[in-house]
């Protein structure tokens, strides 16, 4: 593939993994937050015009779910307006956009895994702003793929696993919500999927027109870890593995609680299950089982 890849959010969980995964595909240009402020739409436009990428890969987002309730303007500027500009500029350049979204676009009702065409219904500002970003990107008509994921974690960055393992060493007892269902997703698996998706489309394009090569592949895909658990299940499994590795360590006991016992400013979906069948059918890609990825991530900690 010839052409540059403009990568946002390189300091984030997924962005850090993407920098490594995308490097074999082309020259990755990855400006940090200070060089590219996504809250400033003009600077996003200028950056894209300067770099002239063949792909824009955008894992950056306003991800502070609770804080978003009191900062909706900033959340929408980053999660919607910047994404719209990426789409507009990509359309002009005949470039492709890979964007990331979330299970929080859904209301989280029922027990079944959500499919891509299910009705959305975000419960808070973060989810609503991410949904608005999906819609804004689609409206531009740019060649794009959106990977909706859930419960992202890895060996680096700010995430549930790292928080829980640290707390397990420091406290006697941890109370963890046991009535929200979903699947932990390894940031590296998402990065590998992205590289796979780009490579697949580039093979079709054979250095030719990218929007044409994306036809039939564009749109939304659910991309979450395989299997399912609860936050309690995830925490228990991680602490159990730590116990096996460090039998002499004093680690917290985990207590299952309900969502009602752990009130937060933003409401969370109870059902975050995402069906990834479309991803398998279109790209031949199966996301890693969360227990398998947990083993790999913990080996890196
Ligand atoms: N984390 C999850 O559990 C989860 C679940 C579902 C979906 N997702 C989605 O997956 C994607 C990746 O998430 P993640 O966990 O990798 O996020 P993350 O670790 O919170 O990283 C977010 C990145 O966005 C950057 N960023 C934030 N505001 C910015 C701004 N104004 N200008 C430029 N950069 C800015 C951050 O840079 P600084 O740190 O330098 O500000 C950071 O690099 C996001 O689209 C998110 O919505 C995440």
69-120 residue pLDDT tens:
999 999 999 999 999 999 999 999 999 999 999 999 999 999 999 999 999 9
DSSP bridge pairs for 7:
57
The SS3 call for residue 39 is coil
Distance CA 3, CA 202 (A): 11
* Closest residue by Cα to residue 62 from 103, 12, 16, 105: 12
Mutation choice for ligand 1 from 17, 32, 33, 231, CB with most ligand atoms inside 8 A: 33
Nearest CA to ligand 1 atom 24: 60
Tell which atom from ligand 1 comes closest to the C-alpha of 58.
45
The SS3 call for residue 32 is coil
Q: Do residues 136 and 85 touch, judged by C-beta distance below 8 A?
A: no
The SS3 call for residue 230 is strand
What is the predicted pLDDT for the residue at 208?
77
The SS3 call for residue 5 is strand
pLDDT (mean) for 10-31: 97
What is the predicted pLDDT for the residue at 91?
98
C-beta 272 within 6 A of ligand 1: no
- Residue 298 belongs to what H/E stretch? helix 290-300
Tell which atom from ligand 1 comes closest to the C-alpha of 14.
16
Could you give the C-alpha distances from 253 to 170, 179, 230, 235, in angstroms and in order?
11, 18, 16, 10
Distance CA 98, CA 105 (A): 18
pLDDT (mean) for 166-181: 97
C-beta 99 within 6 A of ligand 1: no
C-beta 149 within 6 A of ligand 1: yes
Mutation choice for ligand 1 from 16, 35, 59, CB with most ligand atoms inside 8 A: 59
Nearest CA to ligand 1 atom 2: 152
Phi, psi of 184, rounded to the nearest 5 degrees: -65, 140
C-beta 59 within 6 A of ligand 1: yes
pLDDT interval class at 2 (50, 70, 90):
confident
pLDDT interval class at 175 (50, 70, 90):
very high
pLDDT (mean) for 179-191: 98
Lowest mean pLDDT, pick from 14-28, 122-136, 201-215: 201-215
What is the predicted pLDDT for the residue at 259?
97
Distance CA 200, CA 143 (A): 14
284-297 residue pLDDT tens:
999 999 999 999 99
Q: Do residues 16 and 187 touch, judged by C-beta distance below 8 A?
A: yes
> Does domain 4-158+183-226+272-289 bear CATH number 3.40.50.720?
yes
Distance CA 18, CA 30 (A): 10
Query: For the chain, what are the domain ranges?
Result: 4-158+183-226+272-289
Distance CA 19, CA 10 (A): 7
Q: Does 126 qualify as catalytic in the annotation?
A: yes
Nearest CA to ligand 1 atom 21: 12
What is the predicted pLDDT for the residue at 165?
97
Cα of 63 to ligand 1 centre, how many Å?
5
Please tell me what DSSP assigns to residue 271: B
Q: Do residues 66 and 106 touch, judged by C-beta distance below 8 A?
A: no
Cα of 252 to ligand 1 centre, how many Å?
29
* 0.85 exceeded by pTM: yes
What is the predicted pLDDT for the residue at 206?
86
pLDDT of 1 > 90? The answer is no
Lowest mean pLDDT, pick from 17-31, 197-211, 268-282: 197-211
Q: Do residues 226 and 289 touch, judged by C-beta distance below 8 A?
A: yes
What is the predicted pLDDT for the residue at 124?
98
pLDDT of 191 > 80? The answer is yes
C-beta 79 within 6 A of ligand 1: no
Q: Which of 104, 126, 153, 221 is catalytic?
A: 126
């Amino acid at each position: 593939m010839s052409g540059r890849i403009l990568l946002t959010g390189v300091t984030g969980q997924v962005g850090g993994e993407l920098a490594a995964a995308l490097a074999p595909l082309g020259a990755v240009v990855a400006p940090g937050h200070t060089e590219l402020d996504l809250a400033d739409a003009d600077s996003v436009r200028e950056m894209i015009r300067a770099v002239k990428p063949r792909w824009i890969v955008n894992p950056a987002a306003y991800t502070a779910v609770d804080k978003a309730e009191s900062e909706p303007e900033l959340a929408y500027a980053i999660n919607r307006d910047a994404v719209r500009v990426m789409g507009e500029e990509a359309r002009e350049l005949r470039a492709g956009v890979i964007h990331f979204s979330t299970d929080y676009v859904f209301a989280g009702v029922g027990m079944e895994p959500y499919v891509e065409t299910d009705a959305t219904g975000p419960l808070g500002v973060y989810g609503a702003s991410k949904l608005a970003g999906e819609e804004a990107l689609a409206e531009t008509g740019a060649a794009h793929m959106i990977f909706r994921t859930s419960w992202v974690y890895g060996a680096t960055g700010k995430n549930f696993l790292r928080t829980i393992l640290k707390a397990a060493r420091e406290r006697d007892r941890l109370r963890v919500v046991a009535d929200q269902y979903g699947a932990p997703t390894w940031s590296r698996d998402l990065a590998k999927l992205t590289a796979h998706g780009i490579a697949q489309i580039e093979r079709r394009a054979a250095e030719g027109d990218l929007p044409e090569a994306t036809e039939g592949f564009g749109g939304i895909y659910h991309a979450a870890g395989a299997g399912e658990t609860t936050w309690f299940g995830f925490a228990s499994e991680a602490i159990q593995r730590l116990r096996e590795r460090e039998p002499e360590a004093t680690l917290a006991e985990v207590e299952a609680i309900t969502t009602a016992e752990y009130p937060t400013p933003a409401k969370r979906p109870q059902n975050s299950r995402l069906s990834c069948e479309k991803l398998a059918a279109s790209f031949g890609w199966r996301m890693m089982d969360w227990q398998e990825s947990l083993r790999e991530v913990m080996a890196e900690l």
